[in-house]
């Protein structure tokens, strides 16, 4: 390719990245509109110290957050629930969600973390129940503890080791019906071959996780909040229905965008090992993955100096801006063309490796403290 062909290619590439960025932004705007959500503008304006992800627009919308704000204002108990599938160790996408949970705990929330090893097994993400259970205790729970949660206000349970939750699911299943579940989740021909456990899971077990803090044993009806992606909206709808029928407070939600995977397509997820930085990755592996990561930059350095990078679709930008505190204004330097991707990745590698070494150094101690965090409360009120 000669120089003019390269420049032409660089321009095409730049335009494509810009249009992907515009599409993504309009996707979330459309979700706010169609799902009837509210932005967090007012909270950010009036809260003395909003979370970093709220300020950056990563946690971008809410439903009925007013109920939680009122509970805080009246000094009443409230809880936040965030389930987690242990099909692999935690990655930086999970860390982002847990950073938000930590902030919510600092605002006074009791934090409930169901580790859904039963779901990992039922939907086929884990070959055996024992496998996902092992991952939960060996890796997932120690990583959560190492992030700094307060053991007095954090309640973790591995689903298959807390059978009480299935009694709660049974109780709640009486307050909905298949018609409503099919309507909310859109079950159709594609689901015919699914494990029937999936249906009970979506229609009852997930509700049990969300509504558990409102049972008598945990203080009775109270404001509850789930922190989810927009794809989890049906669970919010269903849990609000059932809460009303039980005389509970309908749960509220905040919605967070996903952390993009390093390949530039899709989110960071346990099933795409090369596209995700796991909190247990060796420093060498993490460095290798970051060096190969897709960016919002250009194939031509001069073109990037002139036009800047498309930061908002760049996995390196998202990772650095959401997790770390770069010493310079990353958005400004990227979009002005002042910063090129090679230098930016070098700084990203320094930040990520430092975080991973600090996190991994805490894991052994965290493993010895698992018992302090496990929820063991028997639920007698429904028996």
| Footprint on this chain of ligand SF4 (rule: CB under 6 A) | 295-297, 309, 311, 314, 316-317, 334, 339, 341, 344-345
Indicate the residue among 111 and 300 with the shorter CB distance to ligand SF4: 300
The alpha carbon dihedral of 158, 162, 165, 167 has a sign of positive
Residue 31 CB, shortest distance to ligand SF4, in Å, is: 25
Nearer to ligand SF4, 144 or 349 (CB): 349
Contact 254, 59 (CB under 8 A): yes
Q: Minimal distance in Å, beta carbon 312 to ligand SF4?
A: 9
CA distances from 70 to 244, 246, 254, 362, 363 (A): 18, 21, 15, 36, 37
Please answer whether residues 131 and 138 qualify as being in contact, where contact means their C-beta atoms are separated by less than 8 angstroms. Answer: no
- Least spacing, CB of residue 231 vs ligand SF4, in Å: 26
From the list 279, 289, 293, 302, the residue with the least C-alpha distance to 357 is: 279
Cα–Cα distance, 120 to 137 (Å, whole number):
14
Cβ 323 vs Cβ 290: under 8 Å: no
Residue 380: CB atoms within 10 Å: 11
Neighbour tally for 41: CB within 10 Å: 10
CB 35, min distance to ligand SF4, A: 30
Placement of tokens 């079950």 in the chain: 187
> Minimum CB separation from ligand SF4 for residue 60, in Å?
20
Using the CB atoms, write b or e for 303-323: b if 16+ within 10 Å. Answer: bbeebbbbbbbbbbbbbbbbb
Kindly state the smallest distance separating residue 308's Cβ from ligand SF4, in Å. 8
* Residue among 54 and 341 whose Cβ is closer to ligand SF4: 341
Contact criterion met (CB below 8 Å) for 304 and 337 = yes
The least CB distance from residue 352 to ligand SF4, in Å, is 13
Nearest CB to ligand SF4, comparing residues 225 and 310? 310
CB–CB of 82/212 below 8 Å? no
User: For ligand SF4, which is the closer residue by CB, 230 or 314?
Assistant: 314
**By C-beta, is 110 or 312 nearer to ligand SF4?**
312
The smaller minimum CB distance to ligand SF4, of residues 250 and 309, is found at 309
């Amino acid at each position: 390719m000669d120089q003019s062909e390269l420049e032409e290619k660089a321009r095409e590439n730049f335009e494509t990245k810009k249009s992907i960025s515009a599409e993504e932004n309009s996707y979330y705007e459309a979700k706010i509109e169609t799902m009837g959500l509210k932005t967090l503008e007012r909270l950010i304006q009036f809260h003395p110290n909003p979370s970093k992800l709220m300020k950056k627009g990563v946690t971008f919308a809410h439903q009925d957050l007013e109920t939680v704000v009122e509970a805080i204002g009246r000094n009443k108990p409230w809880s936040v629930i965030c389930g987690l599938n242990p099909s692999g160790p935690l990655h930086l996408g999970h860390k982002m969600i847990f950073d938000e949970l930590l902030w919510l705990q600092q605002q006074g929330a009791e934090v409930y973390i169901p580790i859904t090893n039963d779901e990992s097994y039922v939907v086929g993400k884990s070959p055996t129940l024992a496998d996902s259970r092992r991952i939960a205790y060996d890796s997932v729970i120690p990583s959560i503890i190492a992030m700094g949660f307060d053991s007095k206000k954090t309640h973790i349970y591995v689903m298959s080791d807390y059978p009480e939750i299935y009694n709660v699911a049974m109780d709640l299943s009486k307050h909905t019906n298949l018609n409503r579940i099919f309507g909310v989740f859109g079950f159709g021909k594609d689901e015919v071959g699914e494990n029937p456990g999936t249906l009970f899971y979506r229609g009852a077990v997930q509700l049990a996780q969300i509504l558990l803090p409102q049972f008598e044993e945990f203080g009775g009806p109270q404001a509850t909040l789930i922190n989810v992606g927009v794809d989890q909206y049906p669970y919010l709808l269903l849990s609000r229905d059932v809460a009303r029928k039980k005389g509970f407070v309908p749960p509220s939600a905040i919605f967070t965008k996903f952390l993009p995977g390093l390949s530039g397509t899709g989110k960071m997820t346990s099933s795409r090992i090369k596209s995700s930085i796991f909190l247990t990755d060796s420093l060498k592996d993490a460095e290798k993955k970051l060096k190969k990561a897709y960016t919002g930059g250009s194939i031509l350095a001069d073109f990037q100096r002139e036009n800047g990078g498309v930061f908002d679709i760049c996995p390196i930008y998202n990772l650095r801006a959401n997790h770390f505190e770069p010493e310079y204004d990353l958005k400004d330097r990227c979009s002005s063309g002042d910063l090129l991707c090679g230098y930016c990745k070098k700084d990203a590698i320094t930040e990520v490796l430092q975080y991973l070494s600090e996190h991994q150094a805490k894991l052994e101690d965290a493993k010895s403290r698992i018992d302090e965090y496990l929820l063991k409360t028997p639920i007698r009120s429904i028996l």
